[in-house]
Amino acid sequence: MPELSQAEFTRAARGAHITPGVAPNVEPVIMGLSSVAHCALRKVHRDPPGHALVYFDRKVAKYAGGPAWPVARALRKALERYIAWDAAAGMPPRVDGIDVKLTVPFGPGHGVRAISHAVVDDGAGGSEARIVLWDELRLRQSSAEMIALPILEAADARYGSGSTTLVNVWQVTQNQPFPVAPTHARGRLTDIRALFARI
């Protein structure tokens, strides 16, 4: 059983069928737009948020009026939503890390190549780790808790065991963030091992 990419794992945790190592059947232009959205997300935490929107608009302008334009518009709304959520969270300006990576093992031959898209100061001596999902697959709290565990492990490995006080799974197209406490994420270990057994 090969390691799962984060994209594969997050899809499987939400009930989608996956074949490890085989990309989902998504048009390349859609994959490209999602990549632009993620690059813009990084800019939210590195530059003034308005710069992220300008960057996104410039990159997708060539799709205006074409068949991919509705997707580009939907992703822009999702980016705006993330910016609004980030502002509402009242987080201090310090960002500890962007795209914090770790391959997290879940038994012999099983693992997830986790990426915490942002790790931010929680204002109380700890950190909030975030993962952002851009696709249309529905997310429930139980799935969010499974998705949160490798993110938690990646952030704790980088910044110290127990340093992560919250994992936020941000499903931007669903218009709802799913906060997960570390104890709830760790409580899903058995479910994650069962998921690997089914794949």
Per-residue confidence (pLDDT) for residue 169, from 0 to 100: 96
Mean pLDDT of 25-53: 83
Quote the CA–CA distance of 111 and 160 in Å, as a whole number.
20
Q: How would CATH label the architecture of 1-199?
A: Alpha-Beta Complex (3.90)
Domain coordinates of the chain in residue numbers?
Answer: 1-199
Chain centroid to CA 103: 15
Give the pLDDT confidence score for residue 25 in this predicted structure: 59
**Cβ atoms of residues 173 and 74 within 8 Å:** yes
- Check whether 124 has a pLDDT greater than 90: no
Both tokens assigned to 79: 């980016």
pLDDT of residue 90 exceeding 80: no
Query: Per-residue confidence at 92, pLDDT binned at 50, 70, 90?
Result: low
In the chain, the percentage of residues whose pLDDT exceeds 70 is: 93
pLDDT of residue 158: 93
More confident residue, 79 or 93: 79
CA pair distance 41, 115, nearest whole angstrom: 14
- At residue 150, does pLDDT exceed 80? yes
Structure tokens of 140?
Answer: 């429930």
User: Would you place residue 26 in the very low, low, confident or very high pLDDT band (cuts 50, 70, 90)?
Assistant: low
